[in-house]
Structure 1
Amino acid sequence: MVQRHYDVHRVRAESSTRLTGWGANMRVDCHLTEPGFSSDIAAQLDQAGTIARGLGRSYGDCAINAGGQVIGMTRADRCLCFDEHTGTLTCEAGVSLERIIHDFAPCGWFPMITPGTKFVTVGGCIANDIHGKAHHAQGCFLNSVDSMTVLLASGEVVVASRSVNPDLFWATFGGMGLLGVILTATIRLRKIETTYFHQRSIRVNNLEEMLTALDEHDDTFPYSVATLDVLATGAHLGRGVLTLGDHASLDDLPSQLAADPLRISGPPKLTVPFELPEFTLNPLSIRLVNAVIQRIQASAAPIGHYESFFYPLDKIARWNRGYGCRGFTQYQFVIPFTDGPSRMREILTAILSSGELPFLNVLKRLGKESGGVLSFPQEGYTFAIDFPIRRNTAALLRRLDAMVLDAGGRIYLGKDSYVEASTFRTMYPALDNWLATKAKYDPHCVFTSNLGRRVGLV
């Protein structure tokens, strides 16, 4: 076994600060502690209540703790051991996917599962059990994790895997950091020949055609995602562009790309410098941006770089500021395939006739459940859409929750800011099993957050 070892000095820092999720729709004062090593975290644990936080890219309130402690994990970001033959990496939980890509993609390795941003930590990927454009083919982040070490409320550090403390292992995925602090993880990376992708774009005229296209290409491309025209209604509801993709081999690349087949991208070249005034996001601006997005998606080149394929929004730093000082929420739900087209049409109609300003969106297929007790994905169609926060936004989300629940679906806690505890309990029938694990490993609810208190996880 060939291994690489990393050891970089880190300095511990403390501060009290106002924190928010990526949606910036709730801002609370927390006591922030940022240990420099995962081994230092136990000494900082506040028994009065704490939650771990990575890069803050979960949209809602899962990584904030009003009046309590937040343990920032981004300084605990060492890669500890890498096996060049198997692609197995052991790292601290504060390591980001961006760091993994930067360090290992030039050697032919890439994260096995990735969401729509690379600026997320491994610990955050586990806590949210993130999924990407290929869940129907490759599953959740759980599938790439062999084991982890977890700091419990008692101060004990334990291993959790499929064979050691398996109840803790399965409950940590989708557990939103409420069972303990993930300190390290051993994950498997994907072997690649290039950092490029085959791409195919298909223009679709309405929702029924879009869902049919997703179904027909379920087995032909591992990656698939659709972007809908948020202005299309009536017979054209669901009109949009379906993008399909797969990893490109070295032989697939034209000569100009083959010269640097494992090219990685640099930092964002553009930044939204401040929270934009509310009037900048209006029906006209949404119409213009929507038209640009549809045109870009439809004109994708046959071979594209991973940055554009996986992370188009990462090209603009702090793009969330574009929603203004009241922020936004991303509403993501999944509904079963059974009656999926009619149910999806009802929900989309409710969204587009609401008078709100729905914006960026994606539609995908999800595959079988991962096994994580509170993991979001279940077999069905999933749709995610941004709403700038306005006076009637919360009322619309309550209405949508009821429609999703009636369809046998659920919402994604990693994106949510509003779901009520009673609705959440009905959507997640395994909640009592998770709460039993919580009582076993954290009987006094040391690990808590705004989200945990809101939905009844603590």
Structure 2
Amino acid sequence: MTRLSGWGANVRVDCVVREPETEAQVAAWLDPAGTIARGLGRSYGDAALNDGKHVIGMTRFNRYIAFDEATGTLVCEAGVSLEDILRHFAPRGWFPMITPGTKFVTVGGCIANDVHGKAHHAQGCFSSCVDRLTILLASGEIVAASRTENPDLFWATFGGMGLLGIILTVSLRLRKVETTYFRQKAIRVNDLEAMLAALDEYDHVFPYSVATLDVFATGARLGRGVLVVGDHASRDDLPARLASDPLRVSGPPKLTVPFELPAFTLNRVSIRFVNAVVQQIQAHASSISHYEAFVYPLDKLAHWNRGYGPNGFAQYQFVIPFANGLQRMRDILTTILSSGELPFLNVLKRLGKESGGLLSFPQEGYTFAIDFPIRRNTAALLKRLDAMVLDAGGRVYLGKDSFLDAPTFRAMYPNLDRWLELKAKYDPNGVFTSDLGRRVGLTE
């Protein structure tokens, strides 16, 4: 048995872990009593946990199969990470088409969560850059899935949290870039109404946008923060000191949190200090930023999740529709900031249209993600927030979730019954299961 947790480290369970290197090994190690695939463990909750059952680690399944330099189409195994892709293809002028806020995530994990990033309103989910998959089913059969071949399996796999089969290979498109830098602009905003207006204003100007709110601003200042917008920089955008190496790739993190910090180190004083530092860094961002700082700022600090202490943390991410979004967001933020909990790192963004993924998270609206160190009343607060999000017509992101219950999940995701029909079709005996799947009613 191996002790595992999600990135939030708020649940830790013992699992039987296997790490295959070949398709034959993956098939041989399927356990009918319950199996789930796991990448780099960056889902925050229990998506890649399987208490007492089998977990197939896919990080050794990390080989490239083919690359078309003319189209940027990469065929690779599902254990390849975005960090791998950046290290090997960014120096050749290629960048991930869609990326979340960390590069330490596998391609298979990106598909299972149908991840999105700072440019969802302009570029969509990860599904928008994937053309074809091969998937190992519970029967042992390996099938191909695309928009035209087994399309039902293709779309159910995006956001399906790995519960239909194990993704083996992926064909995806990369983005051609002249540099690995971004043009960016920082806008200070004084309240929530102005923040949402700024997000709306810049929606059609820059493809990348994200706001960070001051978690100590309440009352008339609620929603105060900094909005940062940007786009890929061209060679002509770079100053002379950067132009000599326009496709620079960052190395491994230089700083690390070496162990789980004591719980008392994260308190209102320390959070207030870090919050002020983050606000200042965002507000004074330079006009040109390397991708490491622009897209993956937390990746600079290895094992940053250990900073939340032995009880771990929950990142709560939700989306609510634009309609009446200001009042709904104000109510939710007021509930969070008056809860007595310790809300910490956060981001606010706009999301665009839904993808075809049956259980994909994004829908048109405002999305907010915020970290909570786990304390005595954290779960009760999140349950209150679930009710508010549901009442607003929104939903919670399974890739970040640790606490959502099955009835609330069903009410938030209208395509659940169709997904369950496909689960019965492709995995009739329920071989693929996880702690998350059992908790929210995706599996038994």
Report the TM-score range of the alignment, normalised by the length of the smaller protein.
over 0.9
Aligned positions of 1:186-225 closer than 5 A: 186-225=171-210
- Corresponding residue for 2:83? 98
For 2:378 and 2:124, locate their aligned partners in 1 and report how far apart those are by CA, in whole Å. Answer: 32
Aligned positions of 1:243-262 closer than 5 A: 243-262=228-247
Aligned with 1:352 (options 337, 340, 344): 337
For 2:23 and 2:159, locate their aligned partners in 1 and report how far apart those are by CA, in whole Å. Answer: 21
Aligned with 2:279 (options 275, 294, 297): 294
For 1:62 and 1:106, locate their aligned partners in 2 and report how far apart those are by CA, in whole Å. Answer: 33
The amino acid of 1:97's aligned partner reads: L
Aligned with 2:16 (options 13, 31, 45): 31
- Corresponding residue for 1:9? none
Aligned with 2:105 (options 120, 130, 151): 120
Whether contact under 8 Å (1:38, 1:92) holds in the other structure is no
User: How many corresponding residue pairs?
Assistant: 443
The amino acid of 2:30's aligned partner reads: L
How well do the aligned residues superpose, as a CA RMSD in angstroms?
A: 0.5
Aligned with 2:312 (options 315, 321, 327): 327
Q: Give 1:40 deviation, angstroms.
A: 2.5
Aligned with 2:217 (options 212, 217, 232): 232
- Corresponding residue for 1:59? 44
> Are 1:442 and 2:427 an aligned pair?
yes
For 2:265 and 2:405, locate their aligned partners in 1 and report how far apart those are by CA, in whole Å. Answer: 31
Aligned positions of 1:59-98 closer than 5 A: 59-98=44-83
For 1:397 and 1:38, locate their aligned partners in 2 and report how far apart those are by CA, in whole Å. Answer: 40
Q: Give 1:45 deviation, angstroms.
A: 1.0
- Corresponding residue for 1:8? none
> Are 1:40 and 2:25 an aligned pair?
yes
- Corresponding residue for 2:115? 130
- Corresponding residue for 1:22? 7
- Cα deviation 1:372-430 (Å, max 9, x = unaligned): 00000000000000000000000000000000000000000000000010000000011
Identity %: 77
What secondary structure is seen at the aligned counterpart in 2 of 1:175?
Answer: coil
- Corresponding residue for 1:383? 368
- Corresponding residue for 1:148? 133
Unaligned runs of 5+ in 2: none
Structure 1 runs (4+) greater than 6 angstroms displaced: none
The amino acid of 1:25's aligned partner reads: N
What secondary structure is seen at the aligned counterpart in 1 of 2:227?
Answer: strand
Q: Give 1:39 deviation, angstroms.
A: 4.3
For 1:390 and 1:299, locate their aligned partners in 2 and report how far apart those are by CA, in whole Å. Answer: 33
- Corresponding residue for 2:288? 303
- Corresponding residue for 1:49? 34
Q: Give 1:36 deviation, angstroms.
A: 1.5
The amino acid of 2:221's aligned partner reads: H
- Corresponding residue for 1:11? none
- Cα deviation 1:346-369 (Å, max 9, x = unaligned): 000000000000000000000000
Q: Give 1:177 deviation, angstroms.
A: 0.1
Unaligned runs of 5+ in 1: 1-15
The amino acid of 1:454's aligned partner reads: R
For 2:74 and 2:87, locate their aligned partners in 1 and report how far apart those are by CA, in whole Å. Answer: 14
For 2:249 and 2:286, locate their aligned partners in 1 and report how far apart those are by CA, in whole Å. Answer: 18
Q: Give 1:235 deviation, angstroms.
A: 0.1
TM-score by length of 1: 0.96
For 1:199 and 1:29, locate their aligned partners in 2 and report how far apart those are by CA, in whole Å. Answer: 44
Whether contact under 8 Å (1:91, 1:186) holds in the other structure is yes
Aligned with 2:387 (options 402, 407, 430): 402
- Cα deviation 1:189-227 (Å, max 9, x = unaligned): 000000000010000000000000000011000000000
The amino acid of 1:148's aligned partner reads: L
- Corresponding residue for 1:393? 378
For 1:440 and 1:279, locate their aligned partners in 2 and report how far apart those are by CA, in whole Å. Answer: 49
Aligned with 1:273 (options 251, 254, 258): 258
